Amino acid sequence: MECPYCGYELKCTDYYGKRQIAEHYWSYPQSWIEKEGDIFKCDNEGCDMYQESFYTDSRGELYERYPC
């Protein structure tokens, strides 16, 4: 994925999602994160968006800022 400002390759740093909880009668409740998208940063020091966050949604579209 490329930075929309400088074209530099964005670095994937993490992912985000929603916490899901499943209760099973044979064990304790278990939780996991259902992934919704990835979080990226631009590592190009010459870019105005250097170290700013970007994220993708579940359709793979890129947005500016850190996901809420």
Average of per-residue pLDDT across 1-7: 94
How many C-beta atoms surround the C-beta of residue 17 within 10 A?
13
The count of C-alpha atoms lying within 13 angstroms of the C-alpha of 8, restricted to the half-sphere facing its C-beta, is 19
Average of per-residue pLDDT across 9-32: 75
Q: What is the pTM of this model?
A: 0.75
Percentage with pLDDT > 70 across the chain? 81
What is the rounded CA–CA span in Å between residue 41 and residue 62? Answer: 12
pLDDT at 8: 95
> Is residue 25 over pLDDT 60?
no
Phi, psi angles (nearest 5°) of residue 3: -65, 130
Average of per-residue pLDDT across 44-49: 93
**Position 7, amino acid:** G
